């Protein structure tokens, strides 16, 4: 871990952040002195990351510089769906191969910002746990939330 006090580490992490929720919990975790795990998920629906991703990736790099581990979760399975994600029309569905090709580009681009040493970086694909779900399991999972929650 970097030699900053927990308060100084929190001040560094707060730079450029609108709000940290819950901030007190983050400070308590920093005081424990153990590496944290910070995760970012992105559906590879296009071949390139955009500027908004760079902002989050740079914040993740700050966590790495403080000795924390980041996990980049590539939504290769969910990226096939073609969800609207705030757009007025749905994206066209992609094949798993197309999402994986886009994912390779994402990982390469993210690697220009993130350190990729094994103790600081982990790469996961959501197909690892979603691809094998049965319809029965999907129904069971959907029963745990409301339609409004799913649409958020």
Query: Taking the model in full, what pTM does it have?
Result: 0.84
Could you give the domains of the chain? 35-150 (3.40.50.620)
pLDDT for res 31: 97
The pLDDT, as a whole number, for residue 96 is: 86
Report the chain (152 residues): mean pLDDT per 10 consecutive residues.
86 93 95 96 92 94 98 93 67 88 95 97 95 93 87 72
**SS (HEC) of the chain:** CCCCCHHHHHHHHHCCCCCCCCHHHHHHHHHCCCCCEEEEEECCCCCCCCHHHHHHHHHHHHHHHCCCEEEEEECCCHHHCCCCCCCCCCCCCCCHHHHHHHHHHHHHHHCCCCCCCCCCEEEEECHHHHCCCCHHHHHHHHCCCCHHHHHC
What's residue 34's pLDDT? 94
């Amino acid at each position: 871990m970097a030699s900053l006090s927990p308060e100084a580490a929190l001040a560094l992490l707060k730079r450029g952040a609108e709000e940290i929720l819950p901030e007190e919990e983050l400070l308590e975790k920093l005081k424990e002195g153990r590496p944290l795990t910070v995760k970012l998920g992105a559906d590879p629906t296009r071949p390139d990351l955009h500027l908004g991703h760079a902002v989050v990736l740079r914040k993740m790099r700050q966590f790495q510089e403080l000795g924390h581990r980041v996990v980049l979760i590539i939504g290769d399975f969910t990226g096939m769906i073609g969800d609207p994600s705030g757009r007025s029309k749905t994206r066209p569905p992609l094949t798993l191969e197309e999402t994986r090709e886009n994912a390779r580009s994402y990982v390469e681009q993210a690697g220009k910002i993130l350190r990729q040493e094994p103790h600081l970086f982990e790469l996961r694909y959501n197909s690892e746990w979603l691809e094998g779900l049965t319809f029965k399991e999907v129904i069971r999972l959907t029963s745990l939330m409301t339609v409004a929650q799913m649409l958020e």
